[in-house]
Chain A
Amino acid sequence: MANRKRTKTSSSIRRKDTRTAYAFISPWIIGFVCFTLFPIIFMFRVSLTNRKLNGVSEFSGMQNYVNMFKSGIFWNSIWVTLFFTIVMVIVTTIWAVIMALLLNQKQKLNGIFQFCYFLPSVIPSVALAYAFRTIFGKEAGLFNAFLSIFAGKNVAVNWLYDHATVYMVVFFITLFTYNTGQMMLIFRSGLSDVPMELYEACELDGAGAAKKFFSVTLPMISPLVLFNAVNGCVSALNGSFALLYPLTGESGNPDGMTQVLSLLIYKEAFSNMKVGYSCALSVVLFLIAALFGALLFGLSQKLVYYEN
């Protein structure tokens, strides 16, 4: 009797729980439907029209996609997006590991060093972009002046507009983004979790610093490196606009060399007023992100424990 009563209450509790749970979750459900699911469906629909910025729209079938695949600007942008994303992730990951390694060597003044290493990542990307536009500017640029001291003559390179140097400078600037600072902090805690005994054992074998890094440190933090690298791909896709738009403009100067897909989407929608075409580009960006996302999801299932 008592037993039966308990089963009854527990199942009614569970039913009540389900109701309460959905009441709590309802904000997300509404938000997901209105601000994610609907825009996704709407994006596919608009991509099949020749919608203009003023709202005039006519069904045009696959015309946008046909134009897109024929467009050299589009293929350039795809190439730039993949190139930018992958190189940025590699460069920033290496730099974050270097900074974390340096900071993990316990010394005095480490607090000041961490402050200097970390602060650039939490300031607005616009401010950084404008600082670097002038630092790497042709006239009165700090970097040209610095090189002039060593060259013994006046160096006047327009770093951000020169085909040969633009990528170097842009990737250098990505070292100052939020992603780098975040990775540095993560690697710092990852590095301090590496057991000291492993280093001591290595020292007994007479290994040098480089040997220690490659045979102990790197294998120990490799899951973190891998996870952050793929995570960085998603944030690079999303964050490239805020860095590159103030840095090289919507056309991705020089000659579209830095025109990632997000810049092209913006330009097509707001300068060329072709919203339909811009939606077709968004579909492509969405699919690229889905690809990276699936990769990250697969990795996180393997490497990161969501369940305690």
Chain B
Amino acid sequence: MKSAKTKKRVSQLWLYLLKTIVAVIMFLPIIWIATGGFKTLTEFTTSSRIIPQNFTLENFTYIFRSSNIFLYVRNTVLLMLGTTIGTLFSSSLVAYPLARMEFKGKNLIFSIIIATMMIPNIALIIPQYIMFGKIGWLDSLLPMIIPAFFAYPYNVFLFRQYFRSIPKELDESATIDGCSRVQIFFKVLVPLSKPTYATIAVLSCVFWWNELTQPVFYINSDEWRTLTMALMTSYMYTSGNAFVINWPSIMAAATLMILPPMLLYFFGNRFLVGGIKTTGLKG
């Protein structure tokens, strides 16, 4: 009996060891980024110690004093707010009849929405680039914000799934009370779907906070650079003939960029983790 107990304890210990190794592997890049921001450029490029030897705040003062970080934060926040508000509004409107009404062409429209979910953005980005260039939207946030107001298929799909899980009887009793379809949407479905809106808002914010591809294609000037772009382009300079990448400044900026998703994990776990799980299960 006693040996069975010891055996169990040993296997528990092995499990802990295994879990810890995986945790170290997964978390190492984040530690590397966070400590790298406190190293000097010389130390970063000559020593591979994780703990900074000459602890310094110069990278953070450099970022805040000599780079346009506030501008990049402003652009990223504008991009996040614009796209998120746009998609919440438009995608939920579009999802409503798909979840609740019977009308001609419903199946066709739903099939097209599913099909467009499979088209990777990147395949259409060049024709879109030419198109946005013709209307003069390039080098601004408009090519990303405006389409958000015309419903993302993926979010339409998610809203539809959630709306369907709300009992239809509520609509029917509202109809008897004399509510129109429009009133049902705003007075019954929207108030009941607040967690859904929060989930999709969180996922959208995480996506646009991290998004690199579209800004790289559409934005050119420093004025509209997002944080992700700035991380790639703003912390390198030429000194004489040498091209210097200011690694510790990049790491310091990256540390600041990791903080919001991290805080979201702690304070909005239900929406972040819960949301990602459901999108994957159903999408």
Contact = CB atoms under 8 A, between A and B. Distances in A.
B128 A35 contact: yes
Contacts of A78: none
Interface residues of B, number: 96
A93 B12 CA distance: 25
Main secondary structure of the interface of A (DSSP, over half): helix
Contact of A234 (B97, B120, B181): B120
B176 interface: no
A32 B127 CA distance: 14
B157 to A, nearest CB: 9
A237 B122 contact: yes
B29 A40 contact: no
Contacts of B151: 27-28, 31
Contacts of B119: 36, 286, 289-290, 293
A160 B128 CA distance: 33
A17 B103 contact: yes
A189 interface: yes
B4 interface: no
A124 B254 contact: yes
Contact of B48 (A120, A124, A145): A145
B70 interface: no
Interface of A: 14, 17-18, 20-22, 24-25, 27-28, 30-32, 34-36, 38-40, 42-43, 46, 51, 55, 98-99, 102-103, 105, 107, 109, 112-113, 115-120, 122-128, 130-132, 134-135, 139-142, 144-145, 175-176, 178, 181-183, 185-186, 188-189, 228, 231, 234, 237-238, 241-242, 245-246, 262, 265-266, 269, 275, 278-279, 282, 285-286, 289-290, 292-293, 296-297, 304, 308
23 contacts: A14-B103, A22-B97, A24-B185, A28-B90, A35-B147, A39-B128, A42-B131, A119-B27, A120-B26, A120-B30, A123-B261, A127-B33, A127-B231, A127-B257, A131-B36, A140-B45, A145-B48, A186-B281, A234-B118, A234-B120, A238-B120, A265-B122, A304-B282
